[in-house]
Amino acid sequence: MLEVAVDHDQPSAAVKIYFNRGNGFEEESSVYLPLKSGRITKRLFWMPFGVKTLRLDPLESEGHFTIRHLRFVWLTPWFAHDRLAQRLANMHYKWRNVPKRQVIKALKEQAVSSGRPWREIALETYEATFERFSVQRSYGDWIAGQVKPSEAELANTLNGLAFKPLVSVLVPVYNPTLEHLKSCLDSVLGQAYPHWQLCIADDASTDPAVSALLADYVEQDRRVHVVTRENNGHICAASNSALALAEGEYIALVDHDDCLAQEALLEMVVALNQQPQARLLYSDEDKLDEREQRFDPHFKPDWNPDLLLAQNYISHLGMYETALVREVGGFRQGFEGSQDYDLVLRVTAHLTPEQIVHVPKVLYHWRATEGSTAMSSGQKDYTSQAGLDAVAEHVATCHPRARVEHGAFANTYRVRWPVPNSKPLVSLLVPTRDRVEILKPCVDAILSRTDYRNFELLILDNQSTCSETLAYMEKVASQDSRVRVLRWEQPFNYSAINNFGAQNAKGDIIGLVNNDIEPINSDWLTEMVSQASRPEIGCVGAKLYYPNDTVQHAGVILGIGGVAGHAHKYFTRHAIGYFTRLHLAHNLSAVTAACMLVRKSIFDEVGGLNEAHLAVAFNDVDFCLKVRDAGYRNLWTPYAELYHHESISRGADDNTKKRARAAGEVAYMRETWGEQLDNDPAYNPNLTLVHEDFSLR
């Protein structure tokens, strides 16, 4: 086991260990470990026989570093196998959700069948779970580049507010580390916004120093109020005791060892003045390590109801209208560990999207200590179960047939929405021209790997002349009653071809499918139909991979490259993604038409795809934005997985005419949607519009 912790000045960093067995150091004999910020990172490796010397490369590029911890630990085979199996079960797409006791057995069976040593296969698979990608800018650099407002500027902002509500800050306390509690309370007392009330509920702490410290703060500032509970009732009961003290129009929730940015309450009240309809506001957040260094920022999207069903992305800092919190019953016992999640689900059920306001600034610092959920979301299993119960209860109110289950990672969830009892007919539209070697695998895979049976497949033939292609289309249509071939005898225009297909479709749901798509999981269409059948949902997109198992599409982010780009492009198939988003169903502004479902009624309502201005590119983004403007939520799901051999049948924009057409499509999108392209509510203004990796702007 390699254990290492390195402080450095890089945006991201990884160490490498090289082995020399007498022939020098070579890449083929090395191990790679991307470093986690602010803490010890560990990985297994196999020490080759005959090693004479080791070499440690602490960085991959020039920079400053300090090695804080470095240790090699010899492991027993049993322990090594257990840790390897655990990581594969947690991190590798082929082994996720497989009980770890079965992983080693399966690897050995695979070794027998392939004629390779099982350890070689195991280590090769284990190696694939360590991501190799570079971040463009470090969070430390980003923080250093932020202009901190002066005291005079903060005072001017405060004086310019027309509405200055009292904000009651609720802090339930139970036996915290005294220094952490002091930092927390000092961060409230140091707020640039003075109209606050600190409501502390001491949940019968057994450490007498806690009550003494709280008494000191009551003496320091009349705005500090403390209630001491006679019996320990846990977090929900203590939070309700703090809530009972609240006199403010709004409450803000703070944990007893976390800290607020100096301008936190001021920024929230500024947003409230700008959007007075707000009844719930939330900010971005980051974490504090044991050395008080900030790391792991979470730059969140605006209101994203399907993401909220998958994880509590709202979290900190949350500021709620006090009357509304009391109206829904405050904090409910039985949801300890996910009490904030339960509260936000119940509160948002009473609100319109306009009443939920996101403040895209890091205003809350979540302390990451050993055993805390900030350090690892898997630290407290009971929190994950409480979250599941909260989501299940919330979902049951809108659809009793929906089921909720744990997601691939701790404190994440999957809602399985039901397909309507009368299964809707799906019309899958597949435009094509010649290239039977592409079309045949696509059509054959859809017909053989789709367990949702009520679909028709319309092959939209755009002037094919290849005799083999024509023969295949005739054959597959005669052999499978679900297949029809429709001729489109016009120059290539992706929008027009699909509009033509939609006019001839018999289904209640339209599926736009490229001719270079191959389903991976047989329930891909069931998942997409279940989402597309929800009345509030518009376009539904799938998770698409290149043939080398890297991500081609995980939703569209507006503004990247000027118009739009694909989220998480080139991440490996098993990658977690930005705050596990590669494994969570969530709302996005747009998804790709390479594999998209939408109800035919919505397709017709917005006038289909734009034939006049977007013959090739961005017609799907334009269509999704029209659907969003019509009042529907677009959604991307990771539970429909397909391969996409992108654009191999159409070719590149590699001549003057094609480049002119592409430039015209970009110009049209900017002219039509420019303001929306620059402000994607499913993204965050602090994240890059150059790359597709969620790195910092």
For residue 522, what is the domain's CATH number? 3.90.550.10
Residues 6+ apart with CB under 8 A from 655: none
430 within 8 A of 514, measured Cβ to Cβ: yes
Cα dist from 151 to 147, 155, 157, 190, 197, whole Å? 13, 6, 10, 12, 21
Q: Are residues 82 and 182 in the same domain?
A: no
Mean pLDDT per 10-residue segment, the chain (697 residues): 86 84 84 78 88 89 87 92 84 69 88 90 83 67 89 96 98 96 97 98 96 96 96 95 98 97 98 98 95 92 98 96 97 94 96 98 90 50 90 91 93 96 97 94 96 97 95 96 96 95 97 96 97 98 92 94 89 89 97 97 97 93 97 98 71 65 87 91 91 84
Q: Are residues 332 and 462 in the same domain?
A: no
- C-alpha span between 150 and 161 (Å, rounded): 17
- C-alpha span between 11 and 295 (Å, rounded): 11
Cα dist from 314 to 121, 228, 236, 268, whole Å? 41, 29, 18, 14
279 within 8 A of 351, measured Cβ to Cβ: yes
290 within 8 A of 369, measured Cβ to Cβ: yes
Structure tokens at 157: 């902002």
686 within 8 A of 469, measured Cβ to Cβ: no
Structure tokens at 509: 């749901």
Residues in a beta bridge with 692: none
Is 81 domain-assigned?
Answer: yes
Single residue among 356, 378, 398 that ends a domain in this structure: 398
Question: Which string of DSSP letters, residue by residue, matches 52-71?
Answer: -EEEEE--SSS--EEEEEEE
Residues 6+ apart with CB under 8 A from 550: 570, 571, 572, 573
Is 155 domain-assigned?
Answer: no
What pLDDT, on the 0 to 100 scale, is given for residue 593? 96
Q: What CA dihedral angle connects 290, 296, 302 and 306, to 10 degrees?
A: -100
Kindly report the backbone phi and psi dihedral angles of residue 159, in degrees, each rounded to the nearest multiple of 5, phi listed first: -65, -25
Q: Are residues 566 and 639 in the same domain?
A: yes
Count CA atoms within 13 Å of residue 388 on its CB side: 18
- C-alpha span between 185 and 199 (Å, rounded): 11
- C-alpha span between 400 and 591 (Å, rounded): 28
Angle between helices 178-189 and 208-220 (to 10 degrees): 20
What does R_g of the chain's alpha carbons equal in angstroms? 28
Task: Determine the 3-state secondary structure of 38 from DSSP.
Answer: coil
Domain count, the chain: 3
What pLDDT, on the 0 to 100 scale, is given for residue 650? 45
Q: Are residues 321 and 277 in the same domain?
A: yes
Domain of 72, in residue numbers: 2-127
- C-alpha span between 237 and 258 (Å, rounded): 20
Residues 6+ apart with CB under 8 A from 306: 585, 586, 587, 633, 635
Is 432 domain-assigned?
Answer: yes
Question: Which string of DSSP letters, residue by residue, matches 548-613?
Answer: TSBEEES-EEETGGGSEEETTTT-BTT---GGGGGGS-EE-SB--TTEEEEEHHHHHHTTSS-TTT
- C-alpha span between 572 and 585 (Å, rounded): 18
Q: Are residues 583 and 448 in the same domain?
A: yes
What pLDDT, on the 0 to 100 scale, is given for residue 136? 59
Is 294 domain-assigned?
Answer: yes
Q: Are residues 11 and 119 in the same domain?
A: yes
Is 406 domain-assigned?
Answer: no
Task: Determine the 3-state secondary structure of 467 from DSSP.
Answer: helix
Q: What is the pTM of this model?
A: 0.84
Single residue among 104, 127, 150 that ends a domain in this structure: 127
Q: Are residues 111 and 253 in the same domain?
A: no
- C-alpha span between 190 and 194 (Å, rounded): 9
Is 293 domain-assigned?
Answer: yes
Q: Are residues 437 and 386 in the same domain?
A: no
Q: Are residues 185 and 65 in the same domain?
A: no
Q: Are residues 432 and 320 in the same domain?
A: no
Residues 6+ apart with CB under 8 A from 328: 343, 346, 347, 350
Structure tokens at 674: 């420019």
Q: Are residues 110 and 238 in the same domain?
A: no
Single residue among 79, 109, 127 that ends a domain in this structure: 127
Q: Are residues 379 and 494 in the same domain?
A: no
Instruction: Give the H/E segment covering residue 531.
Output: helix 524-532
Kindly report the backbone phi and psi dihedral angles of residue 617, in degrees, each rounded to the nearest multiple of 5, phi listed first: -105, 155
Please state, as a whole number, how many other Cβ atoms lie within 10 Å of the Cβ of residue 604: 12
What pLDDT, on the 0 to 100 scale, is given for residue 272? 98
Is 59 domain-assigned?
Answer: yes
Is 690 domain-assigned?
Answer: no
- C-alpha span between 260 and 238 (Å, rounded): 20
- C-alpha span between 320 and 355 (Å, rounded): 11
- C-alpha span between 46 and 539 (Å, rounded): 47
